Amino acid sequence: MSYELSRPLPASPGPAAANPPQEADFLESSLLRAAGFRHAFFTRLGGVSSGPYRSLNFSVAVGDAEEHVLANLERAAAVLGVDPRRIYYLSQVHGREVRELAGSERREAVLEQRGDALVGSSLDLACGVRSADCVPILIADRQNGTVAAVHAGWRGVVAGVIGAAVSSLRVRAAAPPELIAAIGPHISSSAFEVAPEVAREIADACGDASVVDRSRGARPFVDLRRAVRRGLIEAGMSDSAVDDVYGCTVGEPERFFSYRRDGQKSGRHLSAIVPRPA
């Protein structure tokens, strides 16, 4: 499994960034790209936001200016090849609700809906999720071109959002689907220290005690990437159909936002995927 950076990573975004990058920076899955799906796991680089939201932030709710977020959406749209008004994401609640797009919705109306997975098949839209430590997952059906974007924090993993999203894709398929997925950057196992009861919930939910590391001290650490991969496999996907796009949101402040590291004044990344013809 592999990941690719779309362009060389600057050493640092810098304190002032008098000449900010003019293109949104992103990571790609070689698996999704080879299957013809336009997609991106955007980093924090290449936007117009300033201060703690520097620079490619996609959330107004965290305190950023709306005009900055809209400008950042335009840059993301240029990467994805869609109109910025056709990049959709939900009000995420760490649950398992899956929303399906008809293709005619206003972006603002979709944003008002609560949920953690978005499914769509219209060729001129992008299904997206926002994150700042939780796991973004992009899933696609190679048979019919339908896609899903999933937001999976530990609560979502426990609630079953991964299985719910995969089930929604299977229901939409006229023929047996051929699903592939990419797991994006998130808080890594070296940074995700949790309470013992949280670790138990996650291990029980994915049926794999090895996602928990209890050797590092009084509190356990959890490997969310392993837990998510396990969830995808339990939902019927093969291990070889799941790609890893690496990056630790906590440990790489020059590249990623992190709620755990920076608190409320953290920006939000966008991860998004565009359907393709069958």
In this prediction, residue 20 carries a pLDDT of 41
Question: Cis omega before residue 121 (within 30°)?
Answer: no
Find the mean pLDDT for residues 127-156.
98
Closest C-alpha to 150, from 118, 194, 113: 118
In this prediction, residue 191 carries a pLDDT of 97
In this prediction, residue 175 carries a pLDDT of 86
What CATH number did the domain enclosing 233 receive?
3.60.140.10
Find the mean pLDDT for residues 12-37.
73
Of residues 10 and 269, more confidently modeled? 269
In this prediction, residue 19 carries a pLDDT of 38
10 belongs to a structural domain: no
* Domain extent at residue 148: 26-273
28-39 pLDDT per residue, tens? 999 999 999 999
Pull the structure tokens for residue 195. Answer: 């309470």
11 belongs to a structural domain: no
7 belongs to a structural domain: no
Q: Measured between alpha carbons, how far is 52 from 43 in angstroms, rounded to an integer? A: 14
In this prediction, residue 22 carries a pLDDT of 64
2 belongs to a structural domain: no
* pLDDT over threshold 80, residue 95: yes
How many distinct structural domains can be found in the chain?
A: 1
- The residues with which 117 forms a beta bridge, in sequence order, are 98, 150
* pLDDT over threshold 60, residue 97: yes
pTM, rounded to two decimals: 0.92
Percent of the chain with pLDDT over 70: 92
Buried b (16+ CB within 10 A) or exposed e, 36-61: ebbbbbbbbbbbbbeebbbbbbbbbe
12 belongs to a structural domain: no
Q: Measured between alpha carbons, how far is 14 from 222 in angstroms, rounded to an integer? A: 32
Q: Measured between alpha carbons, how far is 256 from 188 in angstroms, rounded to an integer? A: 12
51 belongs to a structural domain: yes
176 belongs to a structural domain: yes
Kind of pairing, strands 26-28 and 4-5? Answer: antiparallel
Query: By the 8 A CB rule, do 133 and 253 touch?
Result: no
